Amino acid sequence: MKNKRLILILAIVVTILLIPLIAMQFTDEVNWNLLDFVVAGALLLGAGLMYEFVIRKINTSTYRIAAFIVLLVVFLLVWAELAVGIFGTALAGQ
């Protein structure tokens, strides 16, 4: 079961990354380069693997839900910083 979840995480990451790749074929509004795909893939895969780690280490469903919410918030904040620079760090993509 554990390996099936890892394969599922990889499949979800690839599926999400296919969305901008396909969109780039039809419009000029989406303009990603290789670095964008690598960073997005690393961010998605990192979040997925961290949640897998949480599932394996935490047995109580309440703590799992809390950890999921924390991971989701951190993921969204990093994503927003990389996308538009809400905090104004050097990592902001503008």
- What pLDDT shows up at residue 83? 82
User: pLDDT at position 93, please?
Assistant: 59
State the pTM of this model.
0.84
Q: Tell me the residue range of the domain where 8 lies.
A: 2-84
**pLDDT over 60 at 94, yes or no:** no
| Cβ proximity of 16 and 28 under 8 Å | no
- Number of other CB atoms surrounding residue 70 within 10 Å: 12
Is 74 among the domain residues?
yes
In a domain, 72, yes or no: yes
User: Is 90 contained in some domain?
Assistant: no
Domain-located, residue 29 = yes
Q: Which two tokens stand for residue 24?
A: 């780039």
47-93 residue pLDDT tens: 999 999 999 999 999 999 999 999 999 999 999 888 887 877 776 65
* Residue 88 burial by Cβ neighbours in a 10 Å radius (0-12, 13-18, 19+): exposed
- Please state the domain count of the chain: 1
What confidence score (pLDDT) does residue 14 get? Answer: 96
